[in-house]
Amino acid sequence: MFAFLNGQFLPRAAAAIPVEDRGFLFGDGVYEVWRVLNGRLFENERHLARLSSGLAELRISPPDLVQPNAVIGIAERLLAESGLTEGEATFYVEITRGVAPRTHQFPPAGTLPTVYATVNRFTPADDARARGSSCVTVPDLRWLRCDVKTVQLLPNVMARQAAAERGAIEAIMVRDGIVTEGSHTNVFGVLDGLIRTHPTNQFILPGVTRAVVLEIARSLGLQVREDALTAQDLGRLDELFLVGTTTDVMPITRLDDQPVGAGEPGPVTTRLVRAFREYLDAACAAAHVA
Ligand SMILES: Cc1ncc(COP(=O)(O)O)c(C=O)c1O
């Protein structure tokens, strides 16, 4: 696989950053992950908007990559060099505050951000999607700016590991009795005929897939409310599903070792699984040409 690092394209194994990079020392940076289909970036504008707003929140000066044409050019070259212009892939970008002697406050003006990008082959988890998957709940131990997509992911890492150790695909986080989101997904439930998910605020990442799924659900005439589920709601859900760039729409049929609803993918989720996949295929087919 190929990588882009600070203006240069090189084999990923040859890409290296100095040990004083603030991403390494402090987790002082942001990242973004795009879904790629046949060389086309899904929802590029939304990913770039979130990347720009994260950089602005952290007061990191935006590098050229944050321009639509620049990011598409870099992605296309990485995909081509890595043999990924057909089929499924992901495109990863990380921007840190750059390299400087270790001190907490910002480095001197003029310190250049580190810009890293790479691509990976991707296989959607369609078998798990057909069967339904399992999740566990964990306490949400994160900071109060979960809306910023920073590379500080330790609570997410610990949560996902806890899920893996219990044979589950994802950990659903609960803060003060409120369901926030998964370690790398947004969480939706269907209760009494209504689709519910946490509103966008500082307690969740404003997921690109979440926004697309909300639009699709509304366009299908489904009842949707951006109103968080509570921990109590979890025990009486009709349906539960996760959404995310590498998850699409994923039915969850077991939660904390108990069946959710009928214990199989429900009608609302199944409809959204299909509609989302159709949207993804169509949107990528119509996106920029690789
Ligand atoms: C904490 C968290 N929530 C939600 C998501 C889903 O966001 P998106 O649909 O933009 O991938 C992610 C993606 O990585 C995430 O890390």
- In the predicted model, is pLDDT for residue 115 greater than 70? yes
**Ligand 1 atom 12, closest CA:** 184
- In the predicted model, is pLDDT for residue 232 greater than 70? yes
Token reading at 207? 């997921």
Evaluate: CB of 171 within 6 angstroms of ligand 1: no
Query: What would the mean pLDDT of 159-167 be, rounded to a whole number?
Result: 98
The CA dihedral of 6, 8, 13, 18, to the nearest 10 degrees, is -30
* Residue 109 alpha carbon to ligand 1 centre in Å: 31
Say if strands 224-225 and 258-259 run parallel, antiparallel, or are unpaired: unpaired
- What's the length of the chain? 290
pLDDT band for position 183 (cuts 50, 70, 90): very high
**Candidate of 32, 122, 186, 242 to mutate for ligand 1, largest count of ligand atoms within 8 Å of Cβ:** 186
pTM of the model: 0.98
State the catalytic residue, choosing from 149, 160, 196, 210. 149
Evaluate: CB of 96 within 6 angstroms of ligand 1: no
Mean residue pLDDT of the chain comes to: 97
